[in-house]
Amino acid sequence: MPVNFLATVYVEGRQAIPYYDTLKVAVPALTLLYAMKYYFAGKRNTWQRDMHGKVVLITGGTSGLGAQTAKELAALGAQIVFLVRNVHDGWLIEYINDLREATNNQLIYAEEVDLTDLYSVRKFATKWIDNLPPRRLDMIICCASVSQPISMPRQTTKDELEPQFQVNYLGHFLLLDILAPAIRAQPPDREVRIILTSCASSLTGEFNLEDLGYLKRNYPAYRPFLVFGEAKLYLALSAYELFRQFNNYKRKDGAPCNVHVSVVDPGMMRSPGFKRFITFGRLSLLFVYLLLWPLSWLFLKSSVDGAQSMAYAAMSPEVVEKREVAYISNCQVRPPPPRSEFKDPEKQAALVKETHKLIEAVEKNSAIERNKFKKDSEKKKEQEKKKEKVNKDKPASKK
């Protein structure tokens, strides 16, 4: 049959091909479209590890990049512990059940860690390290993120901080800081990988230790994307000091450090967070976004594409062979963004020192507020009890 067809085309010319005129235009157009889609989707991860029995803590695992990364690791048999802001959310229970079914992995559960509340982070992390023998830990993935739409007025968290700064940087910093002893206590033959997510916006952030928590700077018009960039910059820079601290740690058994830190830039993705950011959180712009969807489909990555670099950070041996922080984008270890702070260990150490100071001050303040709140509510309860007693003791006629 193909021989007959080819012979006919040979004898009668290209016009013998059915729909030749349409195909003449459609085939190159579709090939170009496919080539563009392939190019913009980025490289695929080709490494795989046996993840059975490995324990993975992940923030932001309920959406976009984090959800896709968790799914891939769960499918390979890892025990996934989602760190989420509300464990009692009905949707979360369904999400976990669906994931267990889809990946045929029952070892998936959630713990409460609200990154906008340092007390919540501390409660989880201290509970985790308060265990003898130390709990197994193979990987920590920090994917949680908040990016406020440009039009949004300044907001503050429970800890009175800017939410993007707290979720993207401070909350994750405290989590890793408290978990550090549990990471160091892992047996020397156990590879522990810490994966942080950053993005190109770290180029726009200011390095400002005078006002680390973005407390003093109040631009005439609040610019959320600058705070976001700053938080992402700090998270990436802190990775370098974190790695140095693990690497300089002297184990009692004399074994070398087996902790590996990566910073991943997954590229622009059509994730729920990105949609919220690009549409300024407005319904009218969401409509425009939907109209322009073919363009974002073509030029932006899906969460599956973005998660390729996360999978690379989780599986590739290059991350382990590299005895320094691996900055990863497009499934490759690359140089960090062109900023002097990435080459300046003193600045990185200063950032970590200032961050500790800020955390101490914020936690002190929050503890005072919590105690005040506790005392006030106890007082209220007592007053209510007294009122009830007085009402009971009154003779029936006077009531």
Q: Exactly one of 56, 58, 62, 108 binds ligand NAP (CB under 6 A); which one? A: 62
Site for ligand NAP in 157-176 (CB under 6 A): 167
Closest CA to 297 of 36, 27, 62, 61: 36
Nearer to ligand NAP, 118 or 199 (CB): 199
Residue 355, token pair as written in the block: 């961050």
**Residue from 63, 204, 247, 332 that binds ligand NAP (CB under 6 A)?**
63
Overall size of the chain counted in residues: 399
Residue from 51, 56, 64, 313 touching ligand NAP (CB under 6 A): that is 64
Sheet containing 326-329: which strands, arranged edge to edge?
A: 108-112, 79-84, 55-59, 139-142, 192-197, 259-265, 326-329, 332-334
Q: Which helix (H) or strand (E) holds 362?
A: helix 345-393
Distance CA 209, CA 350 (A): 8
Q: Which is nearer to ligand NAP, 177 or 186 (CB)?
A: 177
Instruction: By CB under 6 A, tell whether 337 contacts ligand NAP.
Output: no
Pick one of 60, 205, 213, 336: the residue that binds ligand NAP (CB under 6 A). 60
Q: Which stretch binds ligand NAP (CB under 6 A): 28-36, 112-120, 218-226, 252-260?
A: 112-120
Q: Counting contacts by CB under 6 A, is residue 135 touching ligand NAP?
A: no
Residue in 87, 268, 285, 350 binding ligand NAP, rule: CB under 6 A = 268
Helices (H), the chain: 2-12, 20-41, 64-75, 90-103, 118-129, 163-165, 171-184, 224-248, 272-278, 283-291, 293-299, 303-315, 317-321, 345-393
Listed ranges 14-22, 111-119, 124-132, 183-191: which one lies at the site for ligand NAP (CB under 6 A): 111-119
Distance CA 67, CA 269 (A): 13
Q: Known catalytic residue: 232?
A: yes
Q: Other C-beta atoms within 10 Å of 70: how many?
A: 26
Question: Would you say 62 and 92 are in contact if contact means Cβ atoms under 8 Å apart?
Answer: yes
- What single-letter amino acid sits at 179? L
Which residue from 197, 262, 308, 366 is in contact with ligand NAP, where contact means CB under 6 A? 197
366 near ligand NAP (CB under 6 A): no
- Region binding ligand NAP by CB under 6 A among candidate stretches 42-50, 203-211, 263-271, 376-384: 263-271
271 is a site residue for ligand NAP (CB under 6 A): yes
Nearest approach in angstroms of CB 349 to ligand NAP is: 24
Nearest residue (CB) to ligand NAP, 203 versus 288: 203
> Rule CB under 6 A: is residue 144 a binding residue for ligand NAP?
yes
Give me the sign of the Cα torsion angle 327, 333, 338, 344.
Answer: positive
Q: What six digits make up the tokens of 175?
A: 């989590």
Q: Is 187 in the site for ligand NAP (CB under 6 A)?
A: no
Q: Which residues pair with 194 in a beta bridge?
A: 140, 261
The SS3 assignment for 141 reads strand
From the candidates 232, 322, 374, 399, which is the catalytic residue? 232
CA angle 52, 55, 61 (to 5 degrees): 110
Q: Pattern 218-257, binding to ligand NAP, x per CB under 6 A?
A: ----------------------------------------
Report how far residue 250's alpha carbon sits from residue 242's, in angstroms, rounded to the nearest whole number: 15
CB of 161 to ligand NAP, least distance (A): 11
Residue 56 corresponds to which amino acid? V
Q: What is the CA radius of gyration of the chain?
A: 27
The candidate with the shortest Cα–Cα distance to 182, out of 216, 133, 149, is: 133
Contact window for ligand NAP (CB under 6 A) among 31-39, 265-273, 322-330, 380-388: 265-273
Kindly list the catalytic residues: 232
- By CB under 6 A, name the binding residues for ligand NAP: 59-60, 62-66, 84-85, 114-116, 143-146, 167, 197, 199, 265-266, 268-269, 271-274
